[in-house]
Amino acid sequence: MVKFAVVCASNMNRSMEGHLVLSHASKNVKSFGTGTKVRLPGDSIERPNVYNFGTPYEYIYKDLKKKNPALYTKNGLFSMLERNMNIKEAPQKFQDNDEQFDVIITCEERVFDAVCQELLLRKGQFGKPVHVINVEIRDNHVDASKGGDTIRKLSDMITESKDLERDIEDILETVQKECPHSLLYNHIFY
């Protein structure tokens, strides 16, 4: 079975939507973030809510309930956190994970760059290939949902392939034609 990872900056919105969609499709999937901290919108742009990776989604939910429940209900943070609590305990940092995946799907170019850099720093010591694919998704609830559809389509085609090394370029070309998200690709080794 193909092992997937879905990665965004904070392991909150886009990667968790991808995690949910792939889980519902019975895929082997985990999700991560690459940022230095988990960042969520605050009551102003200058004052985001910042947490360490590993802080349980439930703790974040309760913390935001104390701060400004009306705002976080209106902007969808509580709904997002409720979804996340049903998937896993806490946001995880990609750079702290040593598990090997067959396919890593990132949700933003700077996250794609961070994942590729991290993998290159590991120097390919195992000689195991990994396909890193970026599906460019804006960080809001509507676009995360649409991005989840693209991730699902991509994962279905990857899973159906009998020879991913041979088929990957055709898969990416097909998905690029059929979906609104721009794609980037890199083939790296663990």
For the chain, the domains span 3-35+93-189, 38-85
> Integer distance in angstroms from the first to the last C-alpha of the chain?
18
Question: Tokens representing 64?
Answer: 């935001």
Q: What is the pLDDT of residue 179?
A: 92
| Average pLDDT per block of 10 residues along the chain, 190 residues long | 98 98 98 98 93 98 96 96 98 97 98 98 90 97 95 98 96 95 95
Q: What is the pLDDT of residue 124?
A: 82
Q: What is the pLDDT of residue 125?
A: 84
- Buried-state track 4-18, b at ≥16 Cβ within 10 A, e below 16: bbbbbbbbbbbbbbb
Pairing, β 38-44 against β 47-51: antiparallel
Question: Tokens representing 11?
Answer: 């392991």
Q: What is the pLDDT of residue 117?
A: 97
Indicate the CATH number for domain 3-35+93-189. Answer: 3.40.50.2300
Task: Please work out, in degrees rounded to the nearest 5, the angle formed at the alpha carbon of residue 173 by the alpha carbons of 102 and 177.
Answer: 125
